[in-house]
Structure 1
Amino acid sequence: MKNIAAWILGMSLSGLAFGQAATIAVGTPLNIIDTQKSVVVQTAKGPVTITRTMTPCAKNGGNLQPLVPVPGVHPVGEIEILEALSDRNAIVLDMRDTNDRVKGTIPGSVGIPYTEVAARMNELGCKKNGSQWDCASAKKVYAFCNGPVCPQSPMAIKAMTRDGFPANKIYYYRGGMLDWDALGLTSVKDEF
């Protein structure tokens, strides 16, 4: 029953995370951090208000995510992702919903939706020991989702560490598919 409730909650949050880009018009003001829509900075020419608006290339209208979602997690960029793709002790993990993954993902990545990853840590090298996970032999996980404003990877990382996955074995690619695509790096489609 508890798993069913978690699944329903996850699917509801999934709808919020994925439905935003399709329903937010270009030019719409967006939050920067939490409910904050602007930040005022002092410059040599006086105060400047920094705002954020929906753009054609934005993947969703979420809030900016921290570079380190859980203490001990390592932030990484594209070079580290490219290196991890050939590291047999690492897994590059696309934590987005399958509906986004099939539209384009990093070649060689594995897809486990963020709503399922904490329950599927056996696929990351952990073993179930009663009700606890033993992750002593876990692979290094390079986690990504839609980009800097996507909450999916941070939510999954928090769930993983809560359930016993070591934070120091998680590498967070905050740039995600937004940065990957913006840099013109190769994507593959129709991956499940």
Structure 2
Amino acid sequence: MKSLILTLFAFVYLNATNPIMLPLKGVEVEHTYSNGIKKKYLIERNSYKECLNLAVDVETFQSENLASSKVNEKCKKTFITTKGTIQPLQLHKDIKTYAELEVLEFIENNLKQNPESYILVDSRTKDWFDKGTIPSATNIPYDELEYDEDFELEYKRAFNLLGIKILKKDEYDFSKVKTALFFCNASWCAQSPRAIKTLIKIGFPKDKILWYRGGVASWVGVSLPLTEELK
């Protein structure tokens, strides 16, 4: 009986900590919209009954095939594929590149447990953020990380959210910065890379920077949810 209980506990523990299980068990978060409204979300992989019995083969997977036109629209995703500039796998040798499971693990084990030390950053502009983002992300538009006297409040807000203390012009205190995971639209989106490069330029610790290269397109491409559009 004792060995059975130990086996059960081991199974539960492994499933709870294995990042592969996170899209199945779900990650509960509270998201704050740009207008301050908060809403709870369960981040889990969307599964529709219409898609469960589809085979991953040439006939159903390739969009130009006749058979794929018979596949339920719930089982498909469509993206613009000819815009932007394709980004490298690594932006910098000291910055880790994340994929979906690592992002989920970051949200579950870091952001939720210690929001004072971790932040998930949507580097896109506010209109993109309000249209739909990864639940629990904070919007820090890439262009607000560079000083502009006409947008000084936005600049100070961005630095405050990241934990950067502005001492004087071109002088900063990084001793209490958060570990920040940045993303934008897709692997062809230059907004999060630009944000990261701006921070590196001013001396932000590289070991406190993480990058989700695939961004929103990769996120929804594996049927993970975005926030609802802010009306």
Shorter-chain TM-score range: 0.5 to 0.7
Write the distance in 2 (CA, Å) between the matches of 1:191 and 1:59.
25
Selected match of 1:71 from 85, 90, 93:
93
Write the distance in 1 (CA, Å) between the matches of 2:181 and 2:220.
17
TM-score scaled to structure 1, two decimals?
0.66
- State how many pairs are aligned: 138
- Cα distance, 1:68–1:106 mapped onto 2, change above 3 Å: same
- Cα distance, 1:128–1:60 mapped onto 2, change above 3 Å: farther
Larger Rg: 2
Corresponding position of 1:143 = 182
Q: How far did 1:56 drift?
A: 4.5
**CA RMSD in angstroms, aligned pairs only:** 2.1
User: Deviation digits for residues 127-175 of structure 1, max 9, x if unmatched?
Assistant: 1122212112211100000010001011110001111211111110000
Selected match of 2:203 from 142, 148, 164:
164
Matched, 1:126 2:126: no
Helix, strand or coil for the counterpart of 2:84?
A: coil
- Cα distance, 1:164–1:75 mapped onto 2, change above 3 Å: same
Helix, strand or coil for the counterpart of 2:124?
A: coil
> What is the percent sequence identity of the aligned residues?
34
Unmatched 5+ residue regions in structure 2?
A: 1-76, 147-154
- Cα distance, 1:94–1:60 mapped onto 2, change above 3 Å: farther
Bigger CA drift: 177-186 or 162-171? 162-171
Unmatched 5+ residue regions in structure 1?
A: 1-54
What amino acid maps onto 1:135 in structure 2?
A: F
Judging by fraction of residues, say which structure has more helix: 2
- Cα distance, 1:127–1:60 mapped onto 2, change above 3 Å: farther
Aligned ranges 1:100-115 → 2 under 5 Å:
100-115=128-143
Helix, strand or coil for the counterpart of 1:116?
A: helix
Corresponding position of 1:93 = 121
- Answer yes or no: is the 8 Å Cα contact 1:135–1:166 preserved in 2: yes
Structure 1 runs of 4+ off > 6 angstroms?
Answer: none
Matched, 1:183 2:205: no
